[in-house]
Amino acid sequence: MNLASRLAAVALVSLFATGTAFAQTAAPAAKTDPAATTDKKAPKERSAESLDCSKQADAKGLKGKERKKFRRECMKEAKAGTAAPADKK
């Protein structure tokens, strides 16, 4: 065998070896959590109190930290107001 045929044989063997190495490499499975993907797509339902507090904040033109503080206080008052009649029964 001359040098050219030996190089051709080595190249052919390395081609097959490389092909099988790539064929045996499995692609990593993508982790998909069906519950997580549906939660991100579906917006959370907001309570009537939350919507009312947001409307009040909009009417006052509040933005940023002032809006957040107002909504927090409004929600506390709304929840306290709904819980109080239930205790009186």
Is the per-residue pLDDT at 77 higher than 70?
Answer: yes
- The stretch 59-88 carries a mean pLDDT of 83
Cβ neighbours for 79, distance < 8 A, ≥ 6 positions apart: 49
Cβ neighbours for 49, distance < 8 A, ≥ 6 positions apart: 74, 75, 78, 79, 82
Q: What is the pLDDT of residues 49-70, one digit of tens each?
A: 899 999 999 999 999 999 999 9
Tokens (6 digits) for 47: 């309570």
Q: How confident is the model at residue 86 (pLDDT cuts 50, 70, 90)?
A: very low
What is the pTM assigned to this prediction? 0.44
